[in-house]
Structure 1
Amino acid sequence: MEVKGKLIVIGGAVDKGSFTEADYNLNLVHNLNFFETGILKRIIDESKHKEKSRIEIITTASHIPKEVGPEYVKAFHHLNAENVGVIYLAKREQASDPEVLDLLKAADIVVFTGGDQLRLTSILGGTPFHNMLLDKYQNEEFIYAGTSAGAAAASNAMIYQGSSQEALLKGEVKITSGLGFINDVIIDTHFVQRGRIGRLFQAVVGNPKVLGIGLGEDTGLLITEGHKMEAIGSGLVIIVDGLQIKDTNLTTVELGQPISIKNMIVHVMSQYDTYNLKNHDLVIHSSQYIE
């Protein structure tokens, strides 16, 4: 069955943006440059009712939710989206509260902030709130948007730990179950800035059916119909495709030893490029070969 909702996953740095700066209002034009032309504006434009859509900010992943939530409200208000609220979910039992579920039921967009993705899945996983999210995404004109931890948790498989420097040593990357909005991909965030390519290589070589997606900061993917991906934002999206892997030493080396991989395919996407998860086809929007 075709997915009716849209998934927008963001690599990070939009978590609080410039809205926490003390001189924010003095540098309004500079600080709004990303928000006006970039991802938050795209979230609004893709939604059912545009600026009038009901937006709920979910701060569960963050350890400073009372700071992060209002910053997003402020950001959306500056983009003329006034119908915005914050749902603070810090305990599993809150995810079964009828009042909280009513807020989610009325939402056209939910935005999951950054923080700790394991905190996000351990609090929300399997709750009525989680189940309603999945149902709305499958059956309604609904947007799940997640940045950093909110993006990493969106897929069925989720990286939750692993140093950037040692990530291509066997056992250094830790993977668990995510929120399950999309299957057969695994998403890593802050990707270019924190040098996390090795983390994604290890995640993919362990199961080459899974497509690795590395999101740079201020960069994301808009995923429609469950399989059509478009790069949005100002940076790069790295795609790691393991389907053509010919050889590896993954199962023969000891824990902590380097992993070798033969014939791993890597694509680089930038704004407006598209990738189809069904046929693994990348289309470069501004290709030098298009007449």
Structure 2
Amino acid sequence: MRKLSFIFVLVLTMIATNMFSFQAEASQNSLSKTAGSLVIVGGALSSDNEAVYKKFLTLAQEYNGKALKDVKIAIIPAASAVPIESADGYKEDFVRYGVPVDNIYTAPIALIDDPLTKEVNESTWKDNGNNIEIAKKLEEFDAIWFVGGDQLRHIKTLVTADGKDTVVLKAIRKIYENGAVLGGTSAGAAVMSNPMIASGTSVGALTDGVHILKNFDQDTGDDKLFLATGLGFFTHGIVDQHFLERGRFGRLLVATQYNKTRYGFGIDENSAMVYTGVDDNIEVIGASGLLIVDLQGSSVPKGKRFAINNVTMHYLEKGDRFNVKDGTFTLNKLHKTTKGIEYYSKNPIAMDIFGKQKLKTVLTEDLIDNEATKAEALWFDMDDDKKGNGFKFTFRKTNTTEGFWGRIDQVGSYAALNVQMDVEPISIKIQIDK
């Protein structure tokens, strides 16, 4: 009878390449100088997500103190492969939540022709980021919405080839700094930071590092982590989206560490991180949650492959708040501590850490709501010789770690503060004993 035994050989000497250099004490991000707000949605926004839509509209009303019937919204459809269809879908949603249809303007800014509109070729709108009339019109609006699709299409239409603002982007930036609300989903969320994540997977990021987009037409491939110029409305760290659903925490971690910023923010699908510039506050709303990666106090061991120790992670859900300026949390009052009343007692090693929603399970059921003091996860890739390279992730409780659970909107909801994580490369050999 054959017996399979897995021999895990931990690589103890870990040198990061120059690409992964990092200062142990990450510098604070610059504080905001804007009165505006951001509704950054992690993609797959459902039309019935009342919390997200109403928050966006409430913030629009607060700008200049308008009633809902007087709110004016502009939609930027550039990222979509079907720009008019996409814009019309959001227009219908805004009308459903009380905005008059005549107050909603689809800005003619796009790269790709929408096959459903025979009377116009939207690809002729590619240079309209430099249209002064459109820019002046946008200055009259209370809210701007960026649709999803390919984030590079937003950049190609709103940023010049040498990285400067077009006149339309200048107009959007002006009203945002004066107090308007900007929102976006998926690609429309990715563009909110600068740099932004243009493409890539967690595996590609951890194994191949960061690539910088040299021009907007460069092929990014499927797996490689590319960073590119973003719109930079959110100044406190890189933003990632479709986060838990697509297992993207690896790429957010690598991107944040490479960029030498303290924070990285990963917002999940059908959820939003709502940022208010006047107080540097972030609130989580919607169906899922937000992961915050904090690299202050982290360190990078020496080695040829990516590794990092003492990363602090926080996970928040609906109604939880984080103040970027002072680093404090205000949790939903329905979130109660799990300390001393942990529900789970087992946490097997997670073998699919980049799987759908897996990171949340590891942080919550396997760690903060578990009697165990640590949880472990692996990823590795095997070759034909039964050898492989991968990474081991260790999530640890410290004396400041605390978990929370509560039933919110009739659904169980978790939060986790101050979880410590280490990432170390591993080499694996499968030995078959006869």
Of 134, 139, 145, which aligns to 1:111? 145
CA distance, structure 2, for counterparts of residue 122 and residue 282 of structure 1: 37
CA separation in 2, counterparts of 1:66 and 1:72? Answer: 10
Q: Which runs of 4+ in 1 moved over 6 A?
A: none
| Preserved CA contact (<8 Å) 1:186 1:210 | no
Counterpart of 1:42? 55
2:175 corresponds to: 136
Task: State the alpha-carbon separation in 1 of the partners of residues 291 and 67 from structure 2.
Answer: 29
SS in 2 for 1:4: coil
Following the alignment from structure 1 to structure 2, what is the Cα–Cα distance between the partners of residues 4 and 284? 24
Distance of 1:237 and 1:8 partners within structure 2:
13
Q: Indicate the residue corresponding to 1:85 in structure 2.
A: 105
Alignment partner of 1:167: what SS? helix
CA contact (8 A) 1:204 1:241 kept: no
| Amino acid aligned to 1:152 | A
Alignment of 1:95-244 (within 5 A): 95-125=129-159, 126-138=165-177, 140-171=178-209, 172-225=224-277, 227-244=280-297
AA matched with 2:37? K
Cα deviation for residue 92 of structure 1 reads: 4.9
Partner amino acid, structure 1, of 2:109: L
Question: Which sits farther off after the overlay, 125-134 or 91-100?
Answer: 91-100
Unpaired runs of 5+ residues, structure 1, are 18-31
Larger relative helix fraction: 1
TM-score by length of 1: 0.85
**Superposed displacement of residue 246, structure 1:** 2.4
- Whichever of the two has the greater Rg, that structure is 2
Shift of 1:276: 1.2
Q: Structure 1: which amino acid aligns with 2:40?
A: V
Contact 1:208-1:241 at 8 Å conserved across structures: no
Alignment: residue pair count: 265
Equivalent pair of 2:34/2:179 in contact (CA under 8 Å): no
1:132-172 per-residue CA deviation (whole Å, 9 max, x = no partner) reads 1112111x230111111111101121000112443322324
**Once structures 1 and 2 are overlaid, which stretch shifts more, 54-63 or 223-232?**
223-232
Q: 1:50 to 1:114 in 2, by over 3 A?
A: farther
Provide structure 2 residue ranges, at least 5 long, that are not aligned to the other structure: 1-31, 111-124, 160-164, 210-223, 338-403, 405-434
Aligned pair 1:69/2:87, yes or no? yes
3-state secondary structure, aligned to 1:106? coil
The DSSP-based 3-state class of the residue aligned with 1:89 is coil
- How far apart, CA to CA, are the structure 2 residues paired with 1:110 and 1:33? 20
**1:115-147 Cα shifts (integer Å, max 9, x gaps):** 111111122012001111112111x23011111
* CA apart distance, 1:42: 1.2
Q: Give distance in 2, aligned partners of 1:118 and 1:273.
A: 31
8 Å CA contact 1:12, 1:190 repeated in 2: yes
Deviation sequence 1:88-107 (CA, Å, 0-9, x none): 20245311223312321111
Q: CA RMSD in A?
A: 1.9
Cα drift, residue 283 of structure 1: 2.4
* 1:277 counterpart (324, 332, 343): 324
Alignment correspondent of 1:25: none
1:230 and 1:272 in contact (8 A); partners too: yes
Is contact 1:219–1:233 with CA below 8 Å preserved after alignment? yes
Aligned to 1:245: 298
Q: Following the alignment from structure 2 to structure 1, what is the Cα–Cα distance between the partners of residues 109 and 322?
A: 34
Q: What amino acid does structure 1 have at the position aligned with 2:186?
A: S
User: Which residue of the partner structure matches residue 288 of structure 1?
Assistant: 336
Change (3 A) 1:124 1:248: farther
**CA–CA distance in 2 between the matches of 1:127 and 1:284?**
40
Query: Are the aligned partners of 1:247 and 1:263 in contact in 2 as well (CA < 8 Å)?
Result: no
Deviation at 1:4, TM superposition (A): 1.1
Within the alignment, does 1:58 sit opposite 2:76 as a pair?
yes
For residue 27 of structure 1, what is the aligned residue in structure 2? none
